[in-house]
Structure 1
């Protein structure tokens, strides 16, 4: 099958965050490609990637970057495909630098931007974009949301039944 979504990142150090986008796409059985494209260290690779993405069959590009975070904006400047930027949390400014770099795009060069380290939401937004022209995918997306709702309702019922103190004591996910 041909990849529909490109997942790119400025460095392999972004992979622990960006793998979450891949996991969502795996869940929906959407083909993707995943690679490193540095806006600053490999500008020719960035340009080539962005210019050929549509011809390769990609429909959406998810671009994660930290620090100066120029990758999503530079891809959007070269490609007509929708670009979703994922600001990566940094050690110096906790990802605010990344967020500000991605959201401050000039008029005419849009980049959809998710929360810091929000690769899951980036993938879900890409799924929504693809679902506009794919009823099967739209149905899978609706089922996914129903599964999330059922999980929250189950958790709420358990919390209400046990009371918050017992819930915290019994819940492994809150353990140190």
Structure 2
């Protein structure tokens, strides 16, 4: 088994149902990843260690999901040179997810966090794979197949709809 290229972290285990989508799509695309809980507020030392050591362990991109105040993606981005993709999570203490979206999206200049839509961990996984595909031809091929399959599903859906209308 190769060392993980993508780190998937989340502020709480309760975020796993959303963040699992990133893991699932990375598996489908043949990308090695690791997944764990790292809370910016409850375990700041763990967050500092994770962010500072990720590159040295071979991580190329970090996907960070968080709900509520959602400080995890931005704090991690402030501690590493690696690209960070933030996933705003609509959590039980969230204001319809807007607090999470804005906390991740509105980063100050110099500390960018790529931000996907609310609960869109699958898109974060795809984006992470696209980033590392610039140096991995196998992942390029897997992404091409993945996108072709998306196209086929839409075309099949359109054909089914036409049949239903007749």
Gaps of 5+ in 2: none
Mind listing any 5+ residue stretches in structure 1 that lack a counterpart?
167-176
Higher relative contact order (CA 8 A, sep 6+): 2
Runs of 4+ in 1 over 4 A off after TM superposition: none
Of 46-55 and 136-145, more deviation after overlay is shown by 136-145
Query: 1:161 Cα shift?
Result: 1.2
Per-residue CA deviations over 1:113-168 (Å, capped at 9, x if unaligned) read: 000000000000001001111122111101110000001100100101112xx9xx
Q: CA deviation at 1:29?
A: 1.7
2:114 is matched with: 112
Task: Please give the residue correspondences for 1:82-121 in structure 2 after superposition, counting only pairs within 5 Å.
Answer: 82-91=83-92, 92-121=94-123
Secondary structure of the 1:68 match is: coil
Confirm or deny that 1:61 pairs with 2:62: yes
Q: What is the number of equivalent residue pairs in this alignment?
A: 164
TM-score (structure 2 length as normaliser):
0.96
Of residues 36-45 and 86-95 in structure 1, the stretch that sits farther from structure 2 once superposed is 86-95
Give the drift of 1:30. Answer: 1.1
Note the C-alpha offset of 1:60.
0.2
Q: Which has the larger radius of gyration?
A: 1
Give the structure-1-normalised TM-score: 0.91
Q: CA RMSD in A?
A: 1.0
